[in-house]
Amino acid sequence: MRLSDIGELALLEIIRKRFARKSKLRTKQKGIIVNIGDDAAVIKPRAKKLLITTDMMVERVHFDLSFTTPYQLGFKLVSVNASDIYAMGGTPHYLLLDIAMNKITEESFVNSFFDGIQDAIKLYGISLIGGDLSSSKKDMVAAASLIGYAEIPVKRSGAKPGDKIYVTGSLGDSACGLEVLKKADSCQLSAVSKKITAANYPLIAKFKKTGLTWNTIAPLLKRHLMPEARNSKNLIKYATAMIDLSDGLFIDLSRLCNESRAGARIYIEHIPVSNQAKEASSALGLDLFKLATSGGEDYELLFTAPPDYKPRAMSHELKITCIGAITKKGMVAVDKYGKESALKAEGYQHYGIQR
Amino acid sequence: MRLSDIGELALLEIIRKRFARKSKLRTKQKGIIVNIGDDAAVIKPRAKKLLITTDMMVERVHFDLSFTTPYQLGFKLVSVNASDIYAMGGTPHYLLLDIAMNKITEESFVNSFFDGIQDAIKLYGISLIGGDLSSSKKDMVAAASLIGYAEIPVKRSGAKPGDKIYVTGSLGDSACGLEVLKKADSCQLSAVSKKITAANYPLIAKFKKTGLTWNTIAPLLKRHLMPEARNSKNLIKYATAMIDLSDGLFIDLSRLCNESRAGARIYIEHIPVSNQAKEASSALGLDLFKLATSGGEDYELLFTAPPDYKPRAMSHELKITCIGAITKKGMVAVDKYGKESALKAEGYQHYGIQR
């Protein structure tokens, strides 16, 4: 069955049943007064300061339906927005969706997309409270707006010279995962399954030749296709400035520095990369340094903290790595021999500008 | 100059200068703590209840760039969202935009689009606080999320049997305007000017033959291309239920009745239509009844109020017309001879469902 057989009103009713009528108690606890199905949602926020962010995903720009499953797409849409809320030191709460799909879209695709959204909002403790459904003539477009709470928002502008610069997790995994997918495109690796499973791996004949195992590529694919946003809860009281890495380490660092009117010195050797990314980039002839510094969609947190901050003392499940320090001005990269060079703010920019 | 020459970062900076750095005092008064340029905006709302709505506009679905100017498009995007906030009895305050445009888009187009947004947010007293810019491979997509305040939200679900049914303004003007544009498509009537002016009228050779004057078609075009949302301020204390007319009178009325678990009796002869719509539909052979009851995008308010409500006593600049009454169940249309028939909930539905 396709959307043209279901129609907008019936689809709305399916969404409403799935998301809005699950638990009236929970709805009340969350401060939701009017849920999906009116001209606007009504909430009674439980905090004095609200965070509001929005991010969109456009087919053939942000995603390729031969690489990603609808489940992963739905999950990622929520994650990239949650990441923005965490990057402000907040907690995500209320979600609105704008979805434009071609009328020939299969019902199973739509269901799987909403499965991904549902699993993600459960993971982050978010409620879907509204949205807009549209048709599209060609590409699918999905945008989400997410509202969160923050006691003390952590801005991009608070970094001071002398602060150290930290990142969560490892960088370049997502970009590396994308390269793996590009090389496997004809096999439509992931589009066959709801989640990434080893069962799909035998399909990728190409990779058998490289000697790469499923255990190596699975975490890279997962980081690209359905990243989990990093909860900043344990960082808030230390962080002087924070940003999430969506367009690439160097470009996002330069944004934080611009807002803070400061500079940075980054020690290249300290940039954390995973063993999987090392293996895969080596086997496939990829430049891991470039992926880790200019590859987009890491969705790790970059933050600054005063020199006395001790990341080891934190009960955070994620590795936190110091990669440099905030300076008065200028952006400098230091290589393993101590050689300095100007750090170029490279990363993903829409409209494909050439410099 | 095209977007591919400007780039995302420079465009962001242009938008930020235009919208976020105008008046720091006003920003503070509006409770905006962090404006455009961080991972999320931060607001300290001035009311306990927040309204949140979102609406998207997709090229070749909601708009045709040979009919509409980018100025009108920007204006309309804000209006359709403001209309949702007013339909809840609220006041609009904070706007977020998601815009996906092809990289070959001209800078003048983008500027004009933002002129329209700027004029609209000024009209409604809204502040742009954030958004997301993306490229698109083909169609332009623009989505807006709007946050408002409401002391006592007016829902769709409050209508009681015995309440009378009212609409603001006149219905079918927008749909009539769209029909006029369709017949004039080769002339690209409006795309040549920022606003609708008589200066463009001589271009429409076709209409000279029909005898229609600029004074007749201009208000219809305006209602379709850049509608102003109707402020419900003076209705809030009377309205028991409210909805804005975006998909057509009958379909939107049926939504209100469904939510209120009630029925309606509509007097066809009482449905307000403008003299311009009468003239144009007559000259062009259009079914005005169909346009007024099932044509979309009126952006008028439909509301219900107890029998003792007197619309004449209100200081509202807009005409308010009683078109029927809420009943216990069933949807009935009554014609001028008093003949009753079942009211069909027809109107615009995405995905082009056939029934």
A161 pLDDT higher than 60: yes
Give the integer Cα–Cα distance in Å for B4 and B22: 27
Size of interface A-B (CB pairs under 8 A): 256
- Residue B305: pLDDT band (50, 70, 90) is very high
Chain A residues inside the 8 Å CB shell of B6:
351, 353
Among A36, A39, A258, pick the best mutation site for testing chain B contact (most B Cβ within 10 A): A39
Give the integer Cα–Cα distance in Å for B203 and A261: 53
- The alpha carbon of A236 is separated from its chain's Cα centroid by a whole number of angstroms, namely 19
Give the integer Cα–Cα distance in Å for B35 and B129: 5
Q: What percent of chain A has pLDDT over 90?
A: 71
- Residue A215: pLDDT band (50, 70, 90) is confident
Phi/psi of residue B164, nearest 5 degrees: -90, 155
Q: What percent of chain B has pLDDT over 90?
A: 71
Phi/psi of residue B253, nearest 5 degrees: -60, -40
B187 pLDDT higher than 50: no
Give the integer Cα–Cα distance in Å for B340 and B348: 24
pLDDT for B188 equals 43
Cα dist from B272 to A191, A301, B147, B278, whole Å? 52, 56, 31, 11
Q: Do B85 and A39 touch (CB under 8 A)?
A: yes
pLDDT for B20 equals 78
The first and second tokens of residue A86, run together, are: 């965490």
Q: Helices A173-183 & A275-284, crossing angle to 10 degrees?
A: 40
Between residues B198 and A149, which one has the greater pLDDT? A149
Chain A residues inside the 8 Å CB shell of B82:
none
pLDDT for B203 equals 47
pLDDT for B355 equals 38
Mean pLDDT of A7-12: 89
pLDDT for B66 equals 79
Chain B residues inside the 8 Å CB shell of A135:
58, 61, 350-352
Between residues B351 and A168, which one has the greater pLDDT? A168
B6, B38, B45 member nearest A50 (Cβ): B45
B101 pLDDT higher than 90: yes
Give the integer Cα–Cα distance in Å for B325 and B308: 13
Among B350, B353, B354, pick the best mutation site for testing chain A contact (most A Cβ within 10 A): B350
Phi/psi of residue A100, nearest 5 degrees: -115, 120
Cα dist from B339 to A180, B249, B266, whole Å? 69, 20, 11
Chain-wide mean pLDDT for chain B?
89
Chain A residues inside the 8 Å CB shell of B53:
39-41, 96, 130
pLDDT for B207 equals 60
A20 pLDDT higher than 50: yes
| Residue whose entry in the numeric block shows the structure tokens 């029925």 | B263
pLDDT for B132 equals 95
Q: Is the pTM of this model over 0.90?
A: yes
pLDDT for B345 equals 82
Q: Tell me the residue ranges of DSSP E strands in chain A.
A: 32-34, 41-43, 50-58, 91-101, 127-135, 141-149, 164-168, 241-244, 263-267, 301-305, 320-327, 331-334, 340-342
Phi/psi of residue A134, nearest 5 degrees: -140, 165
Cα dist from B244 to A153, B94, B167, B293, whole Å? 36, 20, 9, 13
Mean pLDDT of A169-177: 95
- C-alpha radius of gyration, chain A, whole number: 21
Cα dist from A162 to A165, A240, B142, whole Å? 9, 11, 42
Min Cα–Cα distance to chain B from A208, Å: 34
pLDDT for B22 equals 64
Between residues B313 and B112, which one has the greater pLDDT? B112
- Residue A347: pLDDT band (50, 70, 90) is confident
The DSSP letter of residue B156 is: G
Q: What percent of chain A has pLDDT over 70?
A: 89
B354 pLDDT higher than 50: no
Chain A residues inside the 8 Å CB shell of B55:
98, 132
B261 pLDDT higher than 90: yes
Digit-coded pLDDT (tens) for B18-64: 997 666 777 888 899 999 989 999 999 989 899 999 999 999 999 98
pLDDT for A195 equals 52
Mean pLDDT of A96-115: 95
Q: Do A138 and B133 touch (CB under 8 A)?
A: no
Mean pLDDT of B324-351: 91
pLDDT for B314 equals 47
3-state per-residue secondary structure call for A133-198: EEECCCCCEEEEEEEEECCCCCCHHHCCCCCEEEEECCCCHHHHHHHHHHHCHHHCCCCCCCCCCH
CA-nearest residue of chain A to B38? Answer: A156
Between residues B18 and B354, which one has the greater pLDDT? B18
CB A26 within 8 A of CB A18: no
Q: Which helix (H) or strand (E) holds A313?
A: none
- The alpha carbon of A179 is separated from its chain's Cα centroid by a whole number of angstroms, namely 17
Min Cα–Cα distance to chain A from B156, Å: 6
B238 pLDDT higher than 70: yes
Give the integer Cα–Cα distance in Å for B155 and A35: 11
- Residue B197: pLDDT band (50, 70, 90) is low
pLDDT for A198 equals 53
Digit-coded pLDDT (tens) for A183-208: 775 444 444 344 555 555 444 555 65
Q: How many CA atoms lie within 13 A of A39 on its CB side?
A: 36
CA-nearest residue of chain A to B51? Answer: A42
pLDDT for B206 equals 54
Ramachandran quadrant class, B283 (left: phi over 0; alpha: psi -120 to 50; beta: rest): alpha
pLDDT for A318 equals 78
A313 pLDDT higher than 50: no
Chain-wide mean pLDDT for chain A?
89
Q: What pairing do the DSSP bridges indicate for beta strands A91-101 and A127-135?
A: parallel
Digit-coded pLDDT (tens) for A117-148: 999 999 999 999 999 999 999 999 999 999 99
Chain B residues inside the 8 Å CB shell of A97:
54
